[in-house]
Amino acid sequence: MQRTKGETPKREQRRRQIVEAAYAELAEVGFEGFRMRNVARRAGLDHATLHHYFEGRAQILVGVMQLIVEDRSIGTFSALADVPPETRLDAHIETLLSQMRTNPEMFLVIAEIGLRSLRDADVRAVKSTFDAEWRTFLTKIIRTAVDVGAFRSDIVPETAAELVMSVVRGAYFTFDGNTDQCIPLFELLIRSFRGGTG
């Protein structure tokens, strides 16, 4: 997680404990059972102390999303620094598949945030911010692949990015977390970007 300007290592560590506790709570009980008091208990704090580190639930959710994006290496260019432009989308999807296998709770947390965002404006604002970052990340990868001739020239990168996001989110739940069943769907998607070859 990113350190807030002026934050001490001890404070950063405590904030990290709270975010990890919130992540675990969401994975275990979802939003219907999510309580700040339980997050505080998981983090080894009392409820009042929790609010010295986070003003409310929305701030904690920002921390949870940062944890997923940064610490789990989902959607970061640094994770793809040594990957050729023509295979960066493949590598990103392989990272997602690996996370599906090793951290299935992450996708439960993402789904909980997504579902809650449909009826909670604060959660929607958090989700929208991170969706925009993922969309920008994917758009840049796809545009670069088009530029180097790896993807079809008629692809609109922004639209293709939305398609990738939709397929990733849908596949995990369509196949009940079975990553082997997700693979052919992702392969078909990338082949369509390449014009049916490769």
The CATH number linked to 92 is 1.10.357
Are 8 and 91 members of one domain? Answer: no
pLDDT digits (tens, 9 = 90+) for 49-58: 888 899 888 8
Domain that includes residue 116, residue range: 72-194
Residue 122 lies in a domain: yes
Residue 62 lies in a domain: no
> 2-15 in b/e burial notation, b at 16+ Cβ within 10 A?
eeeeeeeeeeeebb
Count of structural domains, the chain: 2
Are 21 and 116 members of one domain? Answer: no
Pick the more confident residue, 55 or 6: 55
Are 43 and 105 members of one domain? Answer: no
Rounded CA-CA distance 141/88 in Å is 7
Nearest to 11 by CA among 48, 68, 52: 52
**Taking all residues of the chain, what is their mean pLDDT, rounded to a whole number?**
87
Are 108 and 146 members of one domain? Answer: yes
Residue 2 lies in a domain: yes
Are 40 and 130 members of one domain? Answer: no
pLDDT at 72: 57
pTM metric for this prediction: 0.81
Rounded CA-CA distance 197/140 in Å is 22
- Say yes or no to pLDDT of 197 above 90: no
Are 181 and 94 members of one domain? Answer: yes
The CATH number linked to 6 is 1.10.10.60
Give phi and psi for 180, each to the nearest 5: -60, -35
pLDDT digits (tens, 9 = 90+) for 62-99: 889 888 877 655 656 677 878 999 999 999 999 888 88
Residue 64 lies in a domain: no
Residue 24 lies in a domain: yes
